[in-house]
Amino acid sequence: MTRHLISLEDLSDDDLYAMVARAVVHSAGRPAGHRPLDGTVVGIYFRKTSTRTRTAFSAGALRLGAGIVAYGPDDLQTNTGETTEDTGAVFARMLDVLVARTAGEPEELRGWAGQRGMSVVNAMTADEHPTQAIADLAALQGRFGRIDGLRILYLGEGNNTAAALALALSRYPDTCLELRTPPGYGLPARILELVGARAEKSGARIVERHDTAGLPPGFDVVYTTRWQTTGTSKPDPDWRRGFESFRVTRELWRTSPDAAFMHDLPAHRGEEVTAEVLDGPRSIAFDQAACKMYSAMAVLEWCHGVLVPSGATGGELG
């Protein structure tokens, strides 16, 4: 079986629920000798820098029994003129799964996904970071025992992490995601349209504003990302001025005293978040990072047809 995860929109609700549930199972420990991917080969191709995602998929694949082949940005013959299509045709004859971070547009990944016999996983493109969202949901499930009905405040740029978070949370009933993004740095219109359609169906509430005034109380989670997204640059040389009021500080906990703090990392203390918050008792950012390996394992199992969705409660191993 060959399945691709290039966008969260490629997944059914049951697919998403199953991967999140399976990631939580992995976080509790795995039985001895559990190697469902024994004999498979996973390619790890990262054109842009990565600490967590690359390590998560590499370690996750090894823990599941797969072998890995790792490629850096200068390793492929695409650098000497070979076409993406030819590269994909070769990959598909040697690999079972290709995990790729391009930080560009997703068309290249979809070209590779047109080959038979090899699953393709998006480890981050310019528009979306789907595996980050699965890790985030697993972290939420582990922390709160549920995702339905959670109230989440996101502060910062409407980047690929924010897009994936909105696309994922819009599938969960009664969930509220309030995005506060700087003017000119909100979610793309296409993402907002997709999120709106999903939320209307599920009963979730996703709203976006471009200021930090009048924040309501009682959030369960405060979430931010670094201001300079990997692989991107900002056209306005004075962009930092517009971001200053979106910094996460301890003041936010005055009206949401029990909120957990989440960050997709890497973090820049003193920019998007103060050290007091990131290193404080409400922060689960590093536990959230650990969930990347558990979610990567679930994604790999799903791609290989080992994880079979079985309804809203999750999935089972086939």
Q: What is the mean pLDDT of the chain?
A: 94
Instruction: Tell me the per-residue pLDDT of 127-150, one tens digit each, with 9 for 90 and over.
Output: 999 999 999 999 999 999 999 999
**pLDDT tier, 75 (very low <50, low <70, confident <90, very high otherwise):** very high
- From the number of C-beta atoms within 10 Å of its C-beta (0-12, 13-18, 19+), residue 270 rates as exposed
Rounded Cα distance, 133 and 128, in Å:
9
Q: Pull the structure tokens for residue 138.
A: 């697993």
Domain annotation for the chain: domains and CATH numbers: 8-128+292-313 (3.40.50.1370), 131-288 (3.40.50.1370)
Instruction: Tell me the per-residue pLDDT of 156-191, one tens digit each, with 9 for 90 and over.
Output: 999 999 999 999 999 999 999 999 999 999 999 999
Q: What percent of the chain has pLDDT over 90?
A: 85
Contacts of 67 (CB under 8 A, 6+ apart): 40, 41, 42, 61
pLDDT of residue 32: 67
* pLDDT > 70? residue 318: no
**pLDDT tier, 282 (very low <50, low <70, confident <90, very high otherwise):** very high
